[in-house]
Amino acid sequence: MYELPDSELASIDAWWRAANYLTVGQIYLRDNPLLRRPLTPEQIKPRLLGHWGTSPGLSFIYAHVSRIIRDTGQSTIYLTGPGHGGPALVAAGWLEGTYTEVFPDVTRDEAGMRRLFRQFSSPGGIPSHVSVTTPGSIHEGGELGYVLVHAFGSVFDNPDLLTIAVVGDGEAETGPLEGSWKGISFLNPVRDGAVLPILHLNGAKIASPTVLGRKSDAEVRSLLEGHGYRVVEVSGSDLPGMHRRFAAALAECYASIREIQREARDRGTPGERPHWPMIILRTPKGWTGPAVVDGEQVEGTWRSHQVPLSGVRENADHLAQLESWLRSYRPDELFDRTGTPIAEILAANPTGQLRMSASPHANGGLLTRDLDLPDLRRFAVTDDEFGTAIESTRRLGDLLAELYRRNPDRFRLFCPDEVNSNRLGSVFDVSDRMFAERVEPGDTKISADGRVMEVLSEHNCHGWLESYTLTGRHGLFASYEAFAMVSASQTVQHGKWLEEANHLPWRAKVPSLNILLTSTCWRNDHNGFSHQGPGLIQNVITHRGDVSRVYLPPDANSLLHVADHCFRSRSCVNLIVIDKQPQQQWLTFDEAADQVERGAAIWPWAGNDGGTADPDVVLACAGDVVTMETIAATEILNERMPQLTVRVVNVIDLMALPRRRDHPHGLTDTYFRELFTDHVDVVFSFHGFPGAIHQLVHGRPDADRFHVRGFIEQGSTTTPFDMTVRNRASRFHLVMDAINNARRTPPGASELLAWCEERIADHERYVVEELEDLPEIRDWSWTRKG
């Protein structure tokens, strides 16, 4: 068993006391940071905010991990599940010097310490939880539950990285966290790095005890062993005993990790799933803080969760108690006259990029290498293939397979058990599914060497990809459209991370988060209503313009160009929506390239306006199925009412619609007018909820003239064409809309309207009868002509 030398112990303890001192200072002090004078109420912040309870434990772990790093040179990052313990991590960064490197105003001396305290949880300052502004972090501590998914994502294809993941006992109650212990079932000790989870049980959350904090030790152990871990436990509050025991536990775990890796790497194959070590650390909540306040027990209870002494400015007893609490860390022994940490404390820091707050893995843009992308043309739909229905996502699958081939160290696909279902199965020609549990004879395309990530958990898939990209690698999350809502909050929070990072010059840009939504609402023939929901678009379009991207390629060639663009982009959330079923192909390879670059284009071959500036009506579309309906509607109009001049506009980049001042992809006023005029009515057929278009075109000339058809939450187990009828977005509805909104009404309008009504009624009869007759699904396709 490892024995911590006394000199190390003294240095670690001093570092820890300094971190605790700085934590309390951030919560309370606006002045007198070194307590060189007696504490007065005026030196206390007007509003006391922050979370003390979890912080001393976080700093305790941090100090000890730093020792391992110093001893071994192990590249390590630290993810803080109990993210509201922000001041602890800020303190660590300041002690390590990193904070001053990224925020030069916050010097590592008395003036900087004063600034450090004042900025915390103050207007214009930093949030109270670990966030984008915290150097060394790739994990936002606001929304709980993702620390383990982020930890595992960070170490995939990162064989030399160790990620420490502190799991709070509050967040341990969340579904996503409970579902993410299984990361080790997808971890390859040869090619991947390691995660060391530390379940920090201090027994309470904001206002009450936690489930894991109050289960018997045996049950908690049983639970984690059931997840496959070797459990090491450390409990107590005695000092220096806790230092010694935790140092030993950490040394044991680290040795065990290295041994697992060494064995596997010597052997060259992952072998049976290892029993990776993890630590359960039980310490009092608010450890080293005030034990009793106003006669009530605070240390060790939920009362220490936030600000243990709340009346410091008004209550002299509280003030005195705060002062003695601060002085209990013996600040005079920790900082020299200038306020700089003493040499013994600095000696506890690792050096350079080994400092966890300075790891380039936590600022992954620094490590990002571009993807080696192939020439797209080899996957393209050729002119010969037009006229046949093609599964567009299958072409994307071929591209993804090539990405796997060319980028074996920095590209992965993440998907909840739907790679084949989504027609992306070509990747299995290059890589198996990753699976570290038992593989049996007869299993196909699955092994512990695989790098295609399939787990039936959107949370795991999404979160793994998030940190895979935040550590500088590339990937794609592919999901059934409706169930992308499961991880919508992750999409939103990751977008916020990127938005915030864009304001921090020291944060290097990272690969984008690419999300493919397929199995869409229009084509869920047998699954029905619960599988019909294009809602995620609603959430992504509200992100800031520098982050939000929504693409609706109508066919394979445009999908390829969109994907290529997304894989080259940085620090965006790219949402790509396209169905997986065989579908019409519209654009040649070059046309698609051009339109993806422009965002939207007139399809001259579809309309009959011959380039006039003044068609009678514009039919616009965004999305695959609705594009087909638009083309079909145009053809009906061209045939049956050729006098009506119709222009067809297809939109691939949804964010081309807003004004450029509202979004950087917004079309220029001139090009927008070239496409949509500024006065002709537009019948817009949209893949998602119509309101999305209404809000995006707001502010464009005469936005009221946009009449939008889309998914209006009418769904069922039914044919694709019937879906368009139920949602009043079929070709016949579009024809009627075109006639009703055209600038002039050509002769024959009422006949054509009546004909459309008949077609719809005919269809509705057909559906009712279908149950009796069950004929073949009616042909509903339409093909680009000429």
618-657 residues near its own copies, rule: CB under 8 A? none
What are residue 138's DSSP bridge partners? none
- Reported as type and span, the H/E element at residue 433 is strand 433-434
Minimum distance, C-beta of residue 368 to its own copies, in the bound complex (Å):
24
CB 589 within 8 A of CB 379: no
Find all residues with CB under 8 Å of 780, minimum gap 6, and list them: 719, 720, 721
Among 348, 455, 552, 566, binds its own copies (CB under 8 A): 455
Q: Which is nearer to its own copies, 107 or 585 (CB)?
A: 107
352-411 positions binding its own copies, by CB under 8 A:
none
For the packed helices 241-267 and 6-28, what is the interaxial angle rounded to 10 degrees? 110
Establish if 459 lies at the interface with its own copies (CB under 8 A). Answer: yes
Site for its own copies in 746-775 (CB under 8 A): 767-768, 770-772, 774-775
Using rule CB under 8 A, residue 37 touches its own copies? no
Of 153-161, 373-381, 452-460, 606-614, which part binds its own copies (CB under 8 A)?
452-460
The owner of tokens 């059934």 is 480
Among 702, 745, 749, 759, binds its own copies (CB under 8 A): 702
| Backbone angles phi and psi of 410, in degrees to 5 | -155, 25
Of residues 664, 716, 744, 758, which one binds its own copies by CB under 8 A? 716
Q: How far is the CB of 721 from its own copies (least distance, A)?
A: 9
Cβ partners under 8 Å of residue 725, min gap 6: 732, 733, 760, 763, 764
User: With respect to its own copies, which residue has the nearer C-beta, 322 or 708?
Assistant: 708
Q: Which residues in 485-504 contact its own copies (CB under 8 A)?
A: 485-486, 488-489, 492-493, 496, 499-500
Candidate list 59, 457, 512, 608; residue touching its own copies; CB under 8 A: 457
Of 524-563, binders to its own copies (CB under 8 A) are 525-531, 533, 535, 538-539, 541-544
Q: Counting Cβ atoms within 10 Å, is residue 493 exposed (0-12), middle (13-18) or buried (19+)?
A: middle
49 vs 367, beta carbon nearer its own copies: 49
Q: Which is nearer to its own copies, 591 or 770 (CB)?
A: 770
Q: Is 200 in the site for its own copies (CB under 8 A)?
A: no
**Is 282 a binder of its own copies (CB under 8 A)?**
no
659 binds its own copies (CB under 8 A): no
Sheet holding 646-651, edge to edge: 600-602, 646-651, 617-622, 682-686, 706-709
- Of 730, 478, 477, which is closest to residue 579 (Cα–Cα)? 478
603 versus 684: smaller Cβ distance to its own copies: 684
* Phi, psi of 104, deg, nearest 5: -60, -25
* Closest CA relative to residue 173, chosen from 201, 137, 151: 201
Task: Work out how close the CB of 610 gets to its own copies at its nearest, in angstroms, rounded to a whole number.
Answer: 30
Site string for its own copies, 565-604 (x = CB under 8 A): ----------------------------------------
Burial (0-12, 13-18, 19+ Cβ within 10 Å), 7:
exposed
Interaction between residue 237 and its own copies (CB under 8 A): no
For its own copies, how many residues bind (rule: CB under 8 A)?
A: 135
**696, 736, 739, 742: which one binds its own copies (CB under 8 A):** 696
Sheet containing strand 161-168, strands side by side:
75-80, 161-168, 194-201, 277-282, 230-235
Among 343, 776, 779, 786, binds its own copies (CB under 8 A): 776
Local structure of 149: helix, strand or coil: helix
In the complex with its own copies, the residue whose CB is nearer, 136 or 607, is: 136
Stretch that binds its own copies, among 397-405, 450-458, 558-566, 610-618 (CB under 8 A): 450-458
Binding of residue 466 to its own copies (CB under 8 A): no
Residue 709 interacting with its own copies (CB under 8 A): no
Nearer to its own copies among residue 270 and residue 690 (C-beta): 690
Candidates 4, 126, 194, 752; binder of its own copies (CB under 8 A) is: 126
Report the candidate in 147, 184, 180 with the shortest Cα–Cα distance to residue 61: 147
122/340 with CB nearer its own copies: 122
Residue 601, strand partner residues: 650
- Provide the minimum distance between the beta carbon of 213 and its own copies in the complex, in angstroms, as a whole number: 8
- CB-nearer residue toward its own copies: 25 or 690: 690
Cβ proximity to its own copies: between 529 and 671 the closer is 529
Binding window for its own copies (CB under 8 A); candidates: 63-71, 158-166, 415-423, 570-578:
415-423
129 scored as a contact of its own copies (CB under 8 A) = yes
Q: Which of residues 295-324 bind its own copies (CB under 8 A)?
A: 297, 301
Beta carbon of residue 467, minimum distance to its own copies (angstroms, whole number): 16
Under rule CB under 8 A, residue 207 binds its own copies = yes
| Positions in 38-77 near its own copies (CB under 8 A) | 45-47, 49-50
Between 223 and 255, whose beta carbon lies closer to its own copies? Answer: 223
**Number of other CB atoms surrounding residue 355 within 10 Å:** 22
Min dist. Cβ of residue 140 to its own copies (A)? 5
Q: Is 127 in the site for its own copies (CB under 8 A)?
A: yes
Interatomic CA distance for residues 538 and 784, integer angstroms: 31
The pair of structure tokens assigned to 695 is 């809000």
Block residue for tokens 């912080």:
55
- Nearest residue to 618 (alpha-carbon basis) of 663, 690, 680, 667: 680
> Among residues 561, 533, 566, which one has the least CA distance to residue 547?
566
Does residue number 119 form part of the binding site for its own copies (CB under 8 A)? yes
* 176 near its own copies, judged by CB under 8 A: yes
558, 652 contact by CB (below 8 A): yes
Structure tokens at 727: 């949602």
**Span between the terminal Cα atoms of the chain, in Å:** 79
Q: Does 180 bind its own copies (CB under 8 A)?
A: yes
Closer residue to its own copies, CB minimum distance, 42 or 266? 42
User: Side chain identity at 527, as an amino acid letter?
Assistant: N
137 touches its own copies by CB under 8 A: no
R_g over Cα of the chain: 30
| DSSP 8-state class, residue 24 | H
Closest CA to 710 of 732, 736, 731, 686: 686
Site for its own copies, residues 3 to 32, rule: CB under 8 A: 30
- Alpha carbons 378 and 760: distance in angstroms, whole number: 41
How many whole angstroms separate alpha carbon 573 and alpha carbon 598? 19
Task: Work out whether 451 is an interface residue with its own copies (CB under 8 A).
Answer: no
The answer, yes or no, to whether the previous bond of 441 is cis (omega within 30 of 0) is no
Q: Label residue 375 exposed, middle or buried (CB < 10 Å: 0-12, 13-18, 19+).
A: exposed
